[in-house]
Structure 1
Amino acid sequence: MTHRPILAVAAAGAAVALLAACGGGQVGQTPGGSAGPAPGNKNLVLVPGVQNEPFYISMQCGAQQEAAKLGYKLDTQAPQKFDASLQTPIVNALGANKPAALLIAPTDDVAMATPMTTLKNMGVKIIEVDTALQDKSVAQSSISSNNAEGGKLAADTLAGLLKGQKGSVLVLDTIAGTSTTNARAKGFTDELAKYPNLKSVGVQFTQNEPDQAASKVTAALSSTPDLVGVFATNLNTGEGAATGLHNAGKIGKVKLVGFDASPSEVDGLKSGDFQALIAQDPAGIGKQGVDQAVAAVEGKPVQRTIDAPLVAITKDDMDSKSQYFYKSSC
């Protein structure tokens, strides 16, 4: 099938117009009507957390391939930023031409419950991919990395890199209420407590902005002379942390462990900006999301929770683990 690019939608009006343009095959629906998806509806919609991010592009690639294999059509739309106020109108607009199922990475684990529930009440099957709501009654299935375990893996990896060195460690998270990164930060902090030579100086939020991550690192280097490690919970925080360490001449001296394996992060691992990456399997999450969506649509058994694999990658073993590198296009 033709691969559709991830589209940015910043307002409800734009989202409605976009759906009208790319909602081919969704018939029998009245905008704002209460009827469910049309019988035999083979349309799926993927709403990732943000546009143009390699993790979500890789997820889209896996989902598109599986949807085509199963005889379904997949449209992908994403907000310009990881922001519930931008994701909500995209979901709300789906009520006009109801897909058979929505695959979504909720950008807030509470705020996105209302628009997702509204769509569910219209008969649309809801599948969570990557992130999830606190309310477990909305989605029929959630496919995600075990993010707490990913945080623990990051702590163990950092401790191994430091080889008994004593000092403080900074955790950079994205936005409060982001289920995935918050779980990574907590898993990391909990596991770090097992290493008496390492002390957490706390979790700081960056609003998912690289420049804020860079400034947080700069401030931490100034206030914490014994800083020996930084854990960045996603791509943007990792890139920002690397910038901050570069500016201070601390690359390699302060160990940086990032989450995900985007092309820029892989380049950073190769160059020494990162000492380790904790990679997910976004294409696999997309594939599983489509599998569960199709099962729900066709009345077959659905698995409520699916954990996707995680792997630690260092410069020494990156060539043998290249299958986990994320894509910038399908």
Structure 2
Amino acid sequence: MKLTKTLTAMGAVVSAAALLSACGSGTVGQSGSGNSAQPVGGKKLALIPGVQAEPFYISLQCGAEAEAKKLGYELTTQAPQKFDAPLQTQLVNALGANPPAALLIAPTDDTAMLAPIQQVKARGTKIVEVDTALKDTGVAVSSISSDNAAGGKLAAQTMAKLAGGKSGSVLVLDTIAGTSTTAARAKGFEDELKNTPNLKSIGIQFTQNEPEQAAAKVTAALSSTPDLIGVFATNLNTGEGAATGLRNAGKVGAVNLIGFDASPSEVEGLKNGQYQALIAQDPASIGTQGVQQAVAAIEGKAVTRNLTAQLHSITKDDMDTNSQYFYKQSC
């Protein structure tokens, strides 16, 4: 009786070993070979842009979604209601429970967003920066944006052409201190304007990305600077606020306004004379390249650390021939 029980137990062990052999030696979360774990997030990508419902980021999302689908990946997008580091941090932290294979993100602050993004990276997620970037260059595998300093330089050159040799002062409106992209635009503009002796900058002023503050800054500048000849607004909200300030003062067209980006409202403003020029980016291309670099990193292929998208100066005279650069409101 005791011998029978022993033989039965030995048979069970042998059967279990055979079953394991037939199924492969891997454990849960590993491939059949048992040599390596499956990548975190599988085929899932996440995109967290700077703010929701902004045409630039919608256009970027459209490019990213199309490329993800083409490459066999699933992309989900969540954006903060405002261009705000604490709000964006909440979205990044929410990824911790179910981290994606890669996170495409436009950091709303080049320093404050470091810690939450690092936490996601620590879980195995590949980080790709789109549009904006962290000061710490060791976090992301790739960073894709416009050459924002070159965009500012292009805006200054355009301002010089619009001035036509007339002398005057120029106001630069930036968004929030610590935003890498707009800071580069403002600096590029300031540096290039020094090559135009008839134009002088009255400095960079911050608007906290609020149109109302931009309008107020323009109103104050018009009062304190009688020779104000131009305003360079580094993004959509500052541009719309600046246009409001000029309109309220009856200075539309008298003061040259150059905006950055080509949202539907800015394009309409260019058409009706509220803007004299727009510096358009190619956000769809940024989204496309962002997904390409993310997938390459996930699949162990070569990744390019820094990529740039083209910029275009558009005036009312050539806006029809540059309509392909106008931003979308939906995909």
**Same fold per superposition (TM over 0.5):** yes
**Residue 155 of structure 2 aligns with which residue?**
154
* Cα distance in structure 1, aligned partners of 2:38 and 2:67: 21
Work out the CA distance in 1 between the residues paired with 2:83 and 2:243: 21
Once the two structures are TM-superposed, the CA of residue 38 in structure 1 deviates from its matched residue by 4.7
2:41–2:102 Cα contact (<8 Å) kept: no
CA deviation after TM superposition for structure 1 residue 40, in Å: 7.3
Equivalent runs, 1:1-330 vs 2, <5 Å: 38=39, 41-330=42-331
What CA distance in whole angstroms lies between the structure 2 residues aligned with 1:103 and 1:268?
A: 31
Question: Counterparts of 1:280 and 1:229 in 2: how far apart (Å)?
Answer: 21
- Judge conservation of contact 2:215–2:245 (CA < 8 Å) in 1: yes
Instruction: Give secondary structure in 2 for the equivalent of 1:253.
Output: coil
Q: Which amino acid aligns with 2:175?
A: T
Letter in 2 for 1:252: G
**Distance in 2 between residues matched to 1:164 and 1:242, nearest whole Å:** 23
What's the Cα RMSD here?
1.2
- Is this contact kept in 2: 1:62–1:283, CA < 8 A? yes
Three-state SS of the structure 2 residue aligned to 1:264 is helix
Deviation at 1:116, TM superposition (A): 0.7
Using the size of structure 2 for normalisation, the TM-score is: 0.88
Question: Offset of 1:327 from its aligned partner?
Answer: 0.1
Output the CA distance in 1 between the equivalents of 2:311 and 2:267: 16
Q: TM-score, normalised by structure 1?
A: 0.89
Identical columns (%): 74
SS of the residue 1:316 aligns to = helix
Amino acid at match of 1:64: E
- Alignment CA distance shift 1:150-1:299 (3 Å): same
Q: Matches of 1:114 and 1:214 in 2, distance apart? A: 34
Residues 71 and 197 of structure 1: CA distance in aligned 2, closer, same or farther (over 3 Å) = same
Secondary structure in 2 aligned to 1:169?
Answer: strand
Q: Residue 313 of structure 2: SS of its match in structure 1?
A: strand
CA shift, 1:234, in A, is 0.3
Task: Give the residue type in structure 2 aligned to 1:138.
Answer: V
Distance of 1:38 and 1:240 partners within structure 2: 45
Q: Could you tell me how far 1:272 is from its partner in structure 2?
A: 0.2
Matches of 2:96 and 2:302, distance apart in 1: 25
**Mind listing any 5+ residue stretches in structure 1 that lack a counterpart?**
1-26, 29-35
Count matched residues: 297
After TM superposition, give the deviation of residue 39 of structure 1 in Å.
5.7
Aligned letter for 1:97? N
Which letter does structure 2 place at the counterpart of 1:207? Q
Say whether the 8 Å CA contact 1:103–1:126 is kept in structure 2. Answer: yes
The residue identity in structure 1 corresponding to 2:195 is K
Give the stretch that moved more between structures: 138-147 or 87-96: 87-96
Q: Quick one: distance in 1 between partners of 2:163 and 2:187?
A: 20
Alpha-carbon distance change, 39 to 46 in structure 1, aligned in 2, over 3 angstroms? closer
Gaps of 5+ in 2: 1-27, 30-36
Do the aligned residues in 2 keep the contact of 1:37 with 1:98 (CA within 8 Å)? no
**Structure 2 CA distance for partners of 1:244 and 1:310, relative to 1, 3 Å:** same
Q: Is the 8 A contact 2:41 2:99 kept in 1?
A: no
- CA drift at 1:173: 0.3
Moved over 6 A (4+): none
